[in-house]
Structure 1
Amino acid sequence: MTIRAFALVIAVLLLGTACGRADDTAQATAASPVVGDDEPVALWQLEDGFVPPGWLAIRPPHVVVYADGRVVVDAARQLRLSPSEVSDVVSALDKDLTGQPPTATPHPGAPAVADVPTTMLGVRAGAGKMREVRVPALDEIGGAYDKQLYEARDRLARLAQRVTAEGQEYTADRVRLVAEDATGRTGKVRDWPKDVPVPPQPDPQSPVRTQDLSGQAANAVIRLVPHDKAQPFNWPVFVDASGARLALSWRYLLPHE
């Protein structure tokens, strides 16, 4: 073999190796999103539905998987996955949601259901934006959508069960305080807790106010505003300095919020 022919063979081999590495990198990028640790790479949450306005304001995502492996369920329980587990979850969800429209439409003949939440399923593959698919009444009308959507939800449901069983309590140094108008409500009314700010009311027509807090104000909310996890709709009523009656609740903010 001549020197020129030998050099040509080496060049071809190097090119093939480079292409193979490029393919491997592309596949790894698709399965392992390159984003900040506190950025969600998989998401399952409920939107809307016939629930009190305050609950719509305070309801957390049901499941959030973060790039660093942390999984938080209902802003209450957390567990950390290994990098390979995160990659598996993202790859599977990406496959489930590929080709789905932003809002899914039930198959012909599916029953109409009103006043129920819309399920939002999301996945971030590679360095792209979160792909979000909204599915109205997914939990109420089984079989009305492509099976991949049910598989995506069930995949995250199994993860939520694992986090709830094996994980630890989720806490944070930031909270979301929600106040709902309680004018005319009977029962015990408490004095406004010291060091807890009254959430502003940007919309006079809305019965709900929200404020995200950190530091001393967040600590005051955690200490002084009762939080009954067993009865999430049982909000204590307080009266502020103006005489307004407001039912209060709060939850820990998630890393990306």
Structure 2
Amino acid sequence: MRAARPATALALVLALTACAERGGTASPGDPAAPSSVAAPEEGLVLQVEHTGGFVTPMMLAARLPIVSVYADGRVITEGPVPAIYPGPALPNLQVAEIEPGQVTDVVDRALAAGVDETGDLGSPPIADVPSTRFTLVTASDTYVREVYALGASSDLPGPAGPPDTGITPEQAAAREELSDFLASVTDLGRATEAYEPEAVAAVVSPWVDPGDDLPQPELPWPGPDLPGEPVGGLGDVSCVTATGDRAQTLLAAARDANATTPWVTDDGRRWSVTFRPLLPGESGCADLTD
């Protein structure tokens, strides 16, 4: 027993030393605290967005991320939208503020949830639903992980269910980690206010009567010349960008419109317009497509 004591003491010293090097504290039997990975000093830290799915080409081009977290503590999400038809022309973007330590915590939790991993997450037998893309930016790396049918797959049988679900128990566990992480970051920063963009993109296509027998008052188009530049691979969908005072004029006009308003240009043509406020780091229509 006397011979075993020095070896035991040495092992404890080595364990405590390793823990100190990682910046944590430890006591016998307790795991060491994980070290933090540095967030970038500026710009995007985390963005979660939907890609693909059975939606219209205009919706594909103008779709907003689910949540965007920035190094300065801003968290931008889409707030609730009135359950009315036609819906408002402008999305209800909200911005909240979190502390620097919380930004670092987002990075740590993203890594713990597996955003930096590359393992196959399976493909549930569900058609036409979007994938969820996680983009994490640290001070040294950028990680992108995409998972198909993340929300819809929660309705499938669990790991103990039949094997034809397309998901193994390991994949189901990994999906649950990502789903839980997404739920946590969409609830960051309780104090929110309306996001005021400095620029806005207008995704446009020729106006088509929706056939709902509702009056559709026309509005004169106050923005850049339409139709703008084609959005690659999305049929007759095009896009223009307004910045500065022109963006504010366009946003003010959109507040008096709805999602089905016909916008009329000087040549008498009518257009359907989906407004997409540009987020920090975005500069124009090219940022809206993959």
TM-score, normalised relative to structure 1? 0.74
Other-structure match for 2:176: 150
Partners of 1:212 and 1:195 lie apart in 2 by: 8
- Aligned ranges for residues 45-84 of structure 1 at < 5 Å? 45-74=49-78, 76-84=93-101
Other-structure match for 1:160: 186
CA-CA distance at 1:219 after TM superposition:
1.4
1:32 matched to 2:30: no
Say if 1:182 and 1:245, in contact at 8 Å, map to a contact too. Answer: yes
Distance 1:89-1:227 versus aligned 2 partners, 3 A rule: farther
- Aligned ranges for residues 216-227 of structure 1 at < 5 Å? 216-226=245-255
Q: Deviations over 1:147-195 (max 9, x none)?
A: 23332332232332344x5311111221121112224555525243235
Which of residues 91, 106, 116 in structure 1 aligns to 2:129? Answer: 116
Give the helix-richer structure, 1 or 2: 1
TM-score, normalised relative to structure 2? 0.66
Partners of 1:214 and 1:255 lie apart in 2 by: 13
- Aligned ranges for residues 203-242 of structure 1 at < 5 Å? 206-226=235-255, 234-242=259-267
- Aligned ranges for residues 131-210 of structure 1 at < 5 Å? 131-142=143-154, 143=158, 144=167, 145-163=171-189, 165-183=190-208, 185=210, 187-188=215-216, 190-202=218-230, 206-210=235-239
Partners of 2:203 and 2:117 lie apart in 1 by: 34
Q: Partner letter of residue 173 of structure 1?
A: E
Partners of 2:207 and 2:119 lie apart in 1 by: 37
Distance 1:83-1:148 versus aligned 2 partners, 3 A rule: farther
Partners of 2:200 and 2:243 lie apart in 1 by: 7
Partners of 2:225 and 2:255 lie apart in 1 by: 15
Give ranges in structure 2 of 5+ residues lacking alignment.
Answer: 1-16, 24-33, 79-91, 159-166, 283-290
What fraction of aligned residue pairs are identical, expressed as a percent? Answer: 24
Task: Report the aligned-residue RMSD.
Answer: 2.9
Which of residues 264, 267, 272 in structure 2 aligns to 1:247? Answer: 272
Moved more, 218-227 or 146-155: 146-155
Distance 1:89-1:250 versus aligned 2 partners, 3 A rule: same
Distance 1:42-1:239 versus aligned 2 partners, 3 A rule: same
Other-structure match for 1:101: 118
Report the 3-state secondary structure (helix = DSSP H, G, I; strand = E; otherwise coil) of the residue aligned with 2:153: coil
Moved more, 54-63 or 200-209: 200-209
1:85 matched to 2:102: yes
Partners of 1:227 and 1:100 lie apart in 2 by: 46
Distance 1:203-1:162 versus aligned 2 partners, 3 A rule: closer
